[in-house]
Amino acid sequence: MTPAEFRALFPALRDRVWLDTPGAPPGAEPVVTAMREVFDAWSSGGFDWLRWDAAAADARELFAGFLGVPPGTVATVSSLAEAAATVAASLPRGRVVVAGEEFRSNRFPWLARHDVVSVPARDGWTRTEDLIAALDEDVALLAVSEVTSREGQRLDLAALRAATDRVGARLFVNLTQSLGALRYDPSVAPDYLAVHGYKWLLCPRGAAWLVARPDRVAGLRPLAPGWKSTAAPHGYFGGGLDDLAPDAARCDASPAWFSWLGARAALRLFHHLDPAAVERHVLGLAGHLTGEAAALGLRRVHAGPASHIVVLATEDADGIARSLAGHGVRATALGDRVRFGFHYFNDESDVAAAVRALAVATG
Provide the whole-model pTM.
0.96
What pLDDT is recorded for position 233? 84
The predicted model gives 318-328 an average pLDDT of 93
State the first-to-last Cα distance of the chain, in angstroms, to the nearest integer. Answer: 39
What pLDDT is recorded for position 242? 86
Per domain, the residue ranges of the chain are: 3-27+274-362, 48-270
List CB contacts of 140: < 8 A, sequence separation 6 or more: 91, 92, 93, 94, 95, 96, 114, 169, 170
Residue 335 reports pLDDT greater than 90: no
CATH number given to 48-270: 3.40.640.10
For the chain, the average pLDDT equals 96
Residue 124 reports pLDDT greater than 90: no
The predicted model gives 8-28 an average pLDDT of 97
What pLDDT is recorded for position 360? 94
Express each pLDDT in 231-259 by its tens digit: 888 888 998 888 899 999 999 999 999 99
DSSP string, 26-53: PPPHHHHHHHHHHHHHHHHT---HHHHH
The candidate with the shortest Cα–Cα distance to 156, out of 143, 167, 147, is 147
What pLDDT is recorded for position 235? 84
The predicted model gives 30-44 an average pLDDT of 97
The predicted model gives 211-215 an average pLDDT of 98
Measured distance CA(131)–CA(120) in Å, rounded: 9
What pLDDT is recorded for position 348? 98
Residue 276: other Cβ atoms inside 10 A: 9
User: Are the folds of 3-27+274-362 and 48-270 the same?
Assistant: no
Measured distance CA(301)–CA(321) in Å, rounded: 17
- 240 CB-side CA count, 13 A: 1
The predicted model gives 103-113 an average pLDDT of 96
Q: Lowest-pLDDT range, 45-49, 69-73, 317-321?
A: 317-321
Express each pLDDT in 133-143 by its tens digit: 999 999 999 99
The predicted model gives 279-288 an average pLDDT of 98
E-strand ranges in 147-234 read 170-174, 192-196, 208-212
Q: Which amino acid is present at 250?
A: R
What pLDDT is recorded for position 63? 98
What pLDDT is recorded for position 214? 97
What pLDDT is recorded for position 318? 87
206 vs 318, more confident: 206
| Burial group, residue 222, by CB count within 10 angstroms (0-12, 13-18, 19+) | buried
Express each pLDDT in 71-104 by its tens digit: 999 999 999 999 999 999 999 888 999 999 999 9
Decide: 147 and 165 in contact? Cβ < 8 Å.
Answer: no
Q: Which amino acid is present at 82?
A: E
Residue 158 reports pLDDT greater than 90: yes
List CB contacts of 44: < 8 A, sequence separation 6 or more: none
Which CATH architecture describes the domain 3-27+274-362? Alpha-Beta Complex (3.90)
Residue 50 reports pLDDT greater than 90: yes
What pLDDT is recorded for position 93? 85
pLDDT band at 109; cut points 50, 70, 90 = very high
DSSP 274: -
What pLDDT is recorded for position 152? 95
The predicted model gives 117-139 an average pLDDT of 95
Q: Which amino acid is present at 324?
A: L
